[in-house]
Structure 1
Amino acid sequence: MTEWKAFEVESKDHIAQVTLTGPGKGNAMGPDFWRELPLVFGELDADPQVRAIVLTGSGKHFSYGLDLPAMSPLFGPLLADKALAAPRTDFLKHVREMQQSVTAVADCTKPVIAAVSGWCIGGGLDLIAAADIRLASADATFSLREAKVAIVADIGSLHRLPGIIGEGHVRELAFTGKDIDAARAEKIGLVNDVYADQDAVLDAAHALAREIAGNPPLVVQGIKDVLDQPKRGKVADGLRYVSVWNSAFLPSEDLTEAIQAVFEKRPPEFKGK
């Protein structure tokens, strides 16, 4: 088995479990995560013994989302005074690489079941939106929080969630950056079911994975392919559009303020500049 820095991967009886391990606090998504994610799912996709995948987080939380301190070099050149074409082009390249990392989950031919406990913020929501099925523990909390840090979400939530929870709910979550609990997530269709605690949701995810794995694997993969076909082009076009939009318009005083506020552990003061 490959040794990973941001994941643990275990396979048994046709079921693989992929566990986020950080190294950032709350399984925050730093450089190791973005580099390894497509490699992990590429290996599992190519493994004929794997028929279903359970995706979960280590510790109490699924993921705090983007590891801003670890990823700050991505934003630094873009926020420099009079950032010209070169830093914007580099930023575009990095965003598209991150998009492809999450798209590797969506494109995996094996069904992916996300088992979510605790916080699932920003990039965590991008990740589970790329899964086929989402389950949650009662303590799970979800947030499409990018607006609160002066960023237009650009890794897939805005493109995949409308087909899962509908336009109105996506717009509410994206415009406000609010947190919603597991009960609300179930009500709007973000998760299929809610379970008592972390152990229970992981057990349920594995039970569902075993049920899937008991069916003819090529038929299951064919079902996923047919279901995904109508939305592939639309999602791909949307991802390309938002990556260009952010490369052009993301640099702002508000973004600088948001990043400084994170490091200084204080509320940001946005001025629309």
Structure 2
Amino acid sequence: MTARSLRISRRNTDALVTSLMLPVMLMLIFVYFFGGAIETGVPHLTYVTYVVPGVLLLCAGFGSAGTAVAVSEDMKNGIIDRFRTLDIGGTPILAGHVAASTARNLISTALVLCIALLIGFRPTATLAGGLAALAVLIAYIVALSWLSAAIGLLARTPEAAGGFTFLMLFLPYPSSAFVPVDSMPGWLHGFADHQPITPAIESMRGLLLDQPVGNSPWIALAWAGGILLGAMALSGVLFRVRTR
């Protein structure tokens, strides 16, 4: 199932190029168009160093949201009925999409990181810090991919499922991805501080720059675990309802 999902991704060249290039373009826009006017709130911290962890999470969220479209297309074109005649259940099918999403996202993340290094990003992470940042990123990707699979089962058309990608593009903005939360209007602080993206970004930023992270990684993993368990349970129910 994973190999099948990866082959489908390879054939869908337009979507693949978009998922790879859009985060890179957004990072370049923020760094070169707006970076000179944005204060990071941390002395001696350049904006490119501040923004890269947020772009990595944006990249992962956008790529994971594509799982919704892939699952919705499977439900629409009848392939699920063929799989069921082969005694293949819903969990392997959806897990294949999630595994393929994780692989695609790690590749796009590596591309974004390489471009970031070329334009001045200089991480100072230890080996343990780098691995911990990778763990937070993978947990975030897997959780959002399962949530996207549930959205794909809920949506009646691939076009409707595609709307989930816009939510994933929007969610990092009211967080600490691009500007410090303290610079936002006071009424927005509560949401920005207590949504799943912010602790993940703060964890990755601190781990990649070898700075104190407090309990942010545990909060980020708790959010990812909660989303994952809820999405897997919802996906199981929705799959049974859609394939009656």
TM-score by length of 1: 0.31
Higher relative contact order (Cα pairs below 8 Å, separated by 6+ residues): 2
Specify which structure has the higher proportion of strand. Answer: 1
TM-score by length of 2: 0.33
